[in-house]
Amino acid sequence: MSNRLPVDTESTLKEILESVKAFAYEFNFNDEGSLTGVEFVSENIENIYGISREEYLERIRDGKINELFDPETRDKTVENFHKTLINGERTTFRYQLKNGNWVQEKINPTH
């Protein structure tokens, strides 16, 4: 029995991610918590945020992603995200989007 991963692991992972109501991303941040790059965002983002992957990436780059958060939970969501960047610990938190969808986000920082 082989422990080898499929030859096309990236497309296999993409298929799995798109078959569930979830999305994944990988962003790079500097020590101050500023975004320095976007490595990956799964296509399924549209099903949750209600916007295209391209618009999501544009909002991330322009610092406007917070506009999609429900105003009542926006400040706490941003606070939780930044706290995770600063302390570098795994965390899970929930927030609501303006479109009514709830998101449970699990962040696993790597340094």
DSSP state of 108: -
Mean pLDDT for the chain overall:
80
More confident residue, 83 or 22: 83
pLDDT in tens, 60-84: 888 898 898 888 888 988 888 888 8
pLDDT number for residue 6 = 58
> What SS3 state is found at 41?
strand
Q: For residue 5, is pLDDT > 70?
A: no
In angstroms and rounded to an integer, the radius of gyration of the C-alpha atoms of the chain is: 15
Q: Alpha-carbon torsion 47, 49, 51, 54, what sign?
A: negative
pTM for this structure?
0.68
Most confident range, picked from 39-48, 58-67, 101-110: 58-67
Q: Give the residues across from 92 on adjacent strands.
A: 106
